[in-house]
Amino acid sequence: MNFKKKWGIMTKAVVLMLILLIPRTIIDVFGLDIVPINTIVGAFITGAIFTIAIIFTGTFTDFKESEKIGGELAAALKALYNDSRVLLLADETPAVVFRTHVRDLHHTIYKCFMENNWNLGDLNHDMNRINNDIRTLSYANVAPPLIAKLRNELGAIDRMANRIDVIIRTDFIPAAYALAEVATGGVILLLLFIEMDPYFEGVIIFAVLATMLIGLLLLIKDMDNPFEFGSHTYADVDIETLVYLESYFDSQDVEMEQLNSETITGR
């Protein structure tokens, strides 16, 4: 899987380049490669590559921002869970229910990622339940600073959930994509008819430039939705922290049960 993630886009680009070599060879055989190499052609190719590089830089910046969201979501969920363990309550039932709902929210978030279906309705439902739990804890006379901290963490999760929804639903400047596609198509069309001798030297130049341009274009499109997971995607953000959180919650639940049993035994 790691090999596929690393080389998948390059493999697609090479396959498309090999397909394009067929018309390039036909054009060369029939002597239709009539465009001479000059400064204007060089400037056009350089400008197209520069344009695609700028678009790639913008997409990469958004991707790096998205890469932080998985860890920040895990940290906020972990903080909610751990804060509920330090509440001084005569009856622990509200805190237990609160932790259960935090785990439900974690399951919903992870499920949305894995199924490539960011269901904001389900997430809002789970967050509303946690919000009601915070209200119950407030009625139980939990210290206001702790209530405020719980609300802040839940608000942070809400902001990140909405941010992910916007990233998934929207594309990175559709006009920029059109410009990148036109630039790539223009350069490849020019390379098909450009006169490059000797033949094998021309094939190598065509293969390198076509593979690079097609690969960059495919990478830009894949990076535009960094939260799309599956075997057909290659540029995905890391959500391993969310995966680890499940075992962390399990271990903390076991620890809480042991602590409670020791307290009862001590009494």
For 117-156, the DSSP string reads: ---HHHHHHHHHHHHHHHHHHHHTT--HHHHHHHHHHHHH
Query: Are the CB atoms for 2 and 151 separated by under 8 Å?
Result: no
pLDDT-based confidence at residue 31 (cuts at 50, 70, 90) = confident
* Tokens 């030297």 sit on residue: 201
Statement: residue 262 has pLDDT above 60: no
Q: CB of 57 within 8 A of CB of 222?
A: no
Please say if the pLDDT value at position 237 is more than 60: yes
The pLDDT assigned to 100 comes to: 92
* Mean pLDDT of the chain, nearest integer: 85
Rank 95-99, 157-161, 241-245 by mean pLDDT and report only the highest: 157-161
Which residue carries 């344009």 as its tokens?
51
Structural contact between residues 242 and 109, judged by C-beta atoms closer than 8 angstroms: yes
Q: Does residue 185 surpass a pLDDT of 80?
A: yes
Name the range with the highest mean pLDDT among 40-49, 52-61, 173-182, 203-212.
203-212
Average pLDDT on 56-85 reads 88
Report the share of the chain in percent with pLDDT over 90: 30
pLDDT at 58: 79
**CB 202 within 8 Å of CB 35:** no
- Is residue 92 very low, low, confident or very high in pLDDT (cuts 50, 70, 90)? confident
Which residue do the tokens 């490059």 mark?
196
Spell out the domain ranges in the chain: 2-257
Q: What is the pLDDT of residue 198?
A: 78
Query: Which pLDDT band holds residue 133 (cuts at 50, 70, 90)?
Result: very high
CB neighbours of 245 closer than 8 A, spacing ≥ 6?
Answer: 74, 77, 78, 106
- The residue type found at 244 is Y
| Angstrom distance (rounded) from CA 223 to CA 96 | 40
Residue 6's pLDDT band (cuts 50, 70, 90): confident
| pTM of structure | 0.81
Closest CA to 14 of 222, 206, 231: 206
Instruction: Give mean pLDDT, residues 19-45.
Output: 87
